[in-house]
Amino acid sequence: MIRTPQMLQKQEWLAFLFHRHNAHLASFHTFSNYPRIWIISIIILAVTSLSPLVMATFINNRLIHKSVDSELVLQTDRVTSNAKRSVRFFLEERLNALRFVVNELPYYSLIDNEHLTKILINLKLGFGGFTDLSIIDSDGSQVAYAGPFNLEGKNYKTQSWFKQSMEKDNFISEVFTGYRDVPHIIIAVRSQNAYGRYYLLRATLDTQRLMDTVLSYKSNFHTDIFLINHTGILQTPSTNYGKIFTPTQIDIPAFSDTTQVITPENNKDKSYVVGYSYIATEAVTTPFILMVHKKKSEVMGTWLNLGKTFNWIIGFCCLVMMVIITLVSTYMVNQLFLADQSKAETMLKMEQSQQLACIGQLSAGIAHEINNPLALINETTGYLKDLYHYKDTPRDDKEIIELLNDILEAVSRCGTITSQLLGFVRQFDVQISSVNVEQLITGILSFHKKETEYKGIHVTTAIAPDVPDIKTDRGKLQQILLNLINNAFQAIEVNGCLDITVSHLPPNTISIEIKDTGCGISEENLQRIHEPFFSTKKERKGTGLGLSITYGLVKKLQGSIRVESSEGVGTIFTVTLPVKLQKEDEA
């Protein structure tokens, strides 16, 4: 029973993956490797449908990162510049206050501790951030002091800040502990007394005030802002590097008059950027470098979270699309396989019907062939009987022997025909055996002996001497040749020609060419002759399955078939077959 696609579908959902191989149906399948078609279908659909989505997501992420990087640089530059101006203003304002005091007040009033204390109070009230004031002569001796520490009589001649202060008019030190043993900054202004000797008006600044000024620009946890000196030692606490006076191991950035934002070389993942600026007042440079470390996560936090959510949505959509693509591809390939399977089963059934039709045709021919000798036997035997009944003397022995020879020849002819019929029936067994192509063609042509004589068809066969016996399926090959020769006889009119040529194509192939001078096939029909149920024969003289089945049989014998034809000229069918047919499991 031929199964319809609906019946197959009910039996198996993944029929193309788990069906059992059937060697009889394989040659009728349009496609042989359905799992490969299934995988290719999934890949093509996935690439076609997902590529635009993946590309759009990639471009979107790149644009987001580029925008955020640009915004991060701008924000870092802005914070660094603002903090720099505040620190510079803090130092410059207090340095100018000292310069004003030195320029406006005489030396003798400054060395008066009571007067110096009043000046300190006024400075604290006016500017803030001052801890103490002192006057130090050119020998490093402190001649006057106003402040909370007991520093009277101290000598600073050997200290480096004093030496540097005496070399220039204005001086700002880095943070150090000194005699106070607490972190502080010194700013000093050099001047001359009435005797032309230099002295220093020194002020100690409140370090905490400077720290508060710097940290006021720390907007969140992801930003680290601090001061270092020119050797990388912390001058204010840092979130990342620790307490004040801690060596940071930071690569000191190149000097620049303006604020710079860079991405350090050791920051390979570019997770943060660094803004820096050298601090300098109008009157003097300072030992401070303002550093701002800003992490991308600060600026990108919202965008990164949005990007992660977007990527999860895209990933989920891709997963859903892959499931849909897989299901659709599976369904389509399965339907294609079921249709192909149904067609193959139909073709196999038609092939079997064709074989039965051939048997019928052969039977009719054989009956015709046997009837003639049987009639001859009947007539001859009757004549002999009459001779013996109506003649007094027996006839000449030679005549009787001749008649008997005719009877024996007729009987031999019947035996040959019967033997051919039996041979044809045995050929339905699918098995590989040694086949002599010449004998096979001669046997087939013998079936058309009467038709040849009736139409006056000139039949020639040319078998190359080097054509070997081939290892193939005798029955299939006989059916192929029978179909093609039958078609040729049907196409040839009276006094036409049929030429059959067999050649050996070394090393492993033979070619069988069947050429007729029939009506020919139009170019339009030539492309459809192998389609099932397509026929150019009128009045239902053909089923349209002969050439289709022939094509399938040739494929089953691992050969090929080619046809050339011109209307009104004739047709040439060329069948190419291997000398040795490989079994299915060896092919």
pLDDT digits (tens, 9 = 90+) for 266-281: 665 567 789 999 999 8
Q: Show the CA angle centred on residue 475, arms to residues 470 and 479, nearest 5°.
A: 105
**Sign of torsion, CA 144 148 154 158?**
negative
Give percent of the chain above pLDDT 90.
Answer: 29
User: What is the pLDDT, as a whole number, of residue 322?
Assistant: 92
Q: Are 170 and 190 in contact (CB under 8 A)?
A: yes
Least confident of 94-98, 345-349, 378-382: 378-382
Window from 224-228, 417-421, 460-464, 520-524 with minimum mean pLDDT: 417-421
| Distance separating alpha carbons of residues 419 and 363, to the nearest angstrom | 12
Q: What is the average pLDDT score of the chain?
A: 82
Asked if residue 392 has pLDDT above 80, the reply is: no
Hey, which of 217-221, 350-354, 403-407, 419-423 has the most confident mean pLDDT? 217-221
Mean pLDDT score, 151-179: 88
Mean pLDDT, to the nearest integer, of 532-550? 61
pLDDT of 422 reads 54
Cα-Cα-Cα-Cα dihedral sign, residues 343, 491, 416, 431? negative
**CB within 8 Å of 564: residues ≥ 6 apart:** 571, 572, 574
- Residue range 59-76: mean pLDDT, rounded: 84
Confidence grade of residue 25 (pLDDT, cut at 50, 70, 90): confident
Query: Can you give the pLDDT at residue 99?
Result: 92
At residue 587 the predicted structure's pLDDT band, cuts being 50, 70 and 90, is very low
Residue 462 to residue 574: CA distance in whole angstroms: 14
Q: Residue 480 corresponds to which tokens in the numbers above?
A: 């192929």
| 68-77, 326-335, 375-384 — most confident range | 326-335
More confident residue, 47 or 351: 47
Q: Which pLDDT score, from 0 to 100, does residue 230 have? A: 92
Q: What is the pLDDT of residue 81?
A: 94
d(CA 452, CA 207): 126
Q: Which DSSP string corresponds to 260-291?
A: EEE--TT-TT--EEEEEEEEE-SS-EEEEEEE
Residues 254-278: b if buried by 16+ CB within 10 A, e if exposed: eeeeebbbeeeeeeeeeebbbbbbb
Tokens of 451: 């038709």
Q: Is 413 a residue whose pLDDT tops 90? A: no
Mean pLDDT of 433-449: 86
Q: What pLDDT is stored for residue 482 in this prediction? A: 85
Task: Look at residue 586 and tell me whether its pLDDT is greater than 70.
Answer: no
Domains and CATH numbers, the chain: 89-209 (3.30.450.20), 217-298 (3.30.450), 428-586 (3.30.565.10)
Report pLDDT digits (tens) over 278-316: 999 888 889 999 999 887 766 666 777 777 888 888 889
Least Cα distance to 185 among 168, 197, 170, 203 occurs for 203
Instruction: Of 170, 171, 177, give the one whose Cα is nearest residue 103.
Output: 170
**In angstroms, rounded to a whole number, what is the distance separating the alpha carbons of residues 555 and 37?**
21
For residue 527, what pLDDT is reported? 73
User: Mind listing the pLDDT tens digit for each residue in 442-457?
Assistant: 888 887 777 788 888 8
Compare 551 and 464 and report the one with higher pLDDT.
464
**Nearest residue to 247 (alpha-carbon basis) of 236, 235, 234, 237:** 234
- Given this model, what pLDDT does residue 2 score? 45
Span 227-250, mean pLDDT?
90
On whether the CB atoms of residues 500 and 440 are closer than 8 A, the answer is: no
pLDDT of residue 511 exceeding 80:
yes
- 161: Cβ–Cβ under 8 A, 6 or more apart, which residues? 171, 173, 176, 186, 188
Residue type, 152: E
Question: Phi/psi zone of residue 153: left (φ > 0), alpha (ψ -120 to 50 degrees), beta?
Answer: left
Please give the Cα distance from 437 to 579 (Å, whole number).
11
On the question of pLDDT at 373 being above 90, the answer is: no
Instruction: Reply yes or no on whether the pLDDT at 205 is more than 60.
Output: yes
Question: Which pLDDT does position 418 carry in this prediction?
Answer: 61
Q: Which pLDDT does position 1 carry in this prediction?
A: 43
pLDDT for position 70: 85
pLDDT for 105-159, tens place per residue? 999 999 998 999 999 999 999 888 899 999 999 999 989 999 888 877 788 888 8
- Reply yes or no on whether the pLDDT at 17 is more than 90: no
Q: Which residue has the tokens 């870092």?
A: 76
pLDDT tens-place string over residues 258-267: 999 988 766 6
* Among 522, 427, 445, 457, residue whose Cα is nearest residue 485: 445
Q: pLDDT-derived band of residue 545, with 50, 70 and 90 as boundaries?
A: low
- C-alpha distances in angstroms, 523 versus 453, 488, 560, 566? 31, 18, 20, 8
pLDDT tens readout for residues 479-495: 888 888 888 888 888 88
* Pair 95, 285: CB distance under 8 Å: no
More confident residue, 209 or 411: 209
Write down the pLDDT at residue 19.
76
Residue 77: which of 253, 274, 228, 281 has the closest Cα?
274
Q: Are 441 and 500 in contact (CB under 8 A)?
A: yes
Q: 568 pLDDT exceeds 90?
A: no
Range from 83-97, 194-208, 299-313 carrying the lowest mean pLDDT: 299-313
Check residue 258 and report its DSSP letter: S
DSSP state of 107: H
Closest CA to 409 of 374, 436, 451, 443: 374
In the structure, what pLDDT confidence band is assigned to residue 368 with cuts at 50, 70 and 90? low
Q: What span, in angstroms and rounded, lies between the C-alpha atoms of 83 and 210?
A: 11
